[in-house]
Amino acid sequence: MEESLKPIWYAVYVRSRYEKKVYLELNEKGLTTFLPLLETVRMWSDRKKKVSEPLFRGYVFVCIDYHTEHVKVLETEGVVKFIGIGRRPSVISERDIDWLRRLVCEPDAIRRTVGSIPPGKRVRVLAGPFMDFEGVVVKEGRDRHLVVYFDSIMQGVEITIRPELLSVSSKGAAPARPEGDAPSEADIRHLARP
């Protein structure tokens, strides 16, 4: 493992239902951590209650100098391992962490997490709170369901987004959108939420 000059984001896999506890303990150790939480309503026979649940069950993100701080993480109760291939942990890009932060700010748009990407058009979001996200369309209709997939942790999040805010990505193998079908900048500004 190369020695890093600055802290880098990694994902750690934790025991079932230990996400919040691990997050708090890592913070107490002075480490920069992130646990994407979504507020949901749980219904019991006698009441409803708002609860915060992890976007990705079993994952907590930590920004550390791996060479000097990985032992602090692994010694935390509930931490199982770093997510990665073999002994090499996968680096989570700052962009992916930013996207996760943006996702949890839009809980009504999120459907569920998914483990793989079904076939479909690869698209980019043109405007709104998910601007510049790239993902794969998994359902077409009035609203398109877009999967934003995070390769480093092999997890995806399905969001609902208006078709007018999508453009076929140049990275995808799908044919380019005809020029007449592309929305103008004025249309995009009108459709995007302020």
Superfamily of domain 8-92: NusG, N-terminal domain (3.30.70.940)
Question: What's the CA gap between 9 and 12, in Å, rounded?
Answer: 10
Question: Contact 128/191 with Cβ under 8 angstroms?
Answer: yes
Give every residue of the chain whose pLDDT is below 70, as ranges.
Answer: 1-5, 111-119, 140-143, 171-194
Predicted local distance difference test score (pLDDT) of residue 142: 64
Q: What pLDDT sits at residue 121?
A: 81
pLDDT of residue 184: 43
DSSP state string for 91-122 = EEPHHHHHHHHHHHT-GGGEEEEESSPPS--E
Does this chain's domain 8-92 share its CATH topology with 108-174? no
Give me the architecture of the 108-174 domain, per CATH: Roll (2.30)
Which tokens in the block code for residue 140?
A: 């077409």
Residue with tokens 């369309």: 137
pLDDT at 122: 84
Q: Give the tens place of pLDDT for each residue, 114-125.
A: 665 555 788 888
Q: Can you give the pLDDT at residue 82? A: 96
What residue spans define the domains of the chain? 8-92, 108-174
DSSP character at residue 2 = P
On whether the pTM is more than 0.75, the answer is no
How confident is the model at residue 93, as a pLDDT? 93
Structure-token pair, residue 119: 């076939």
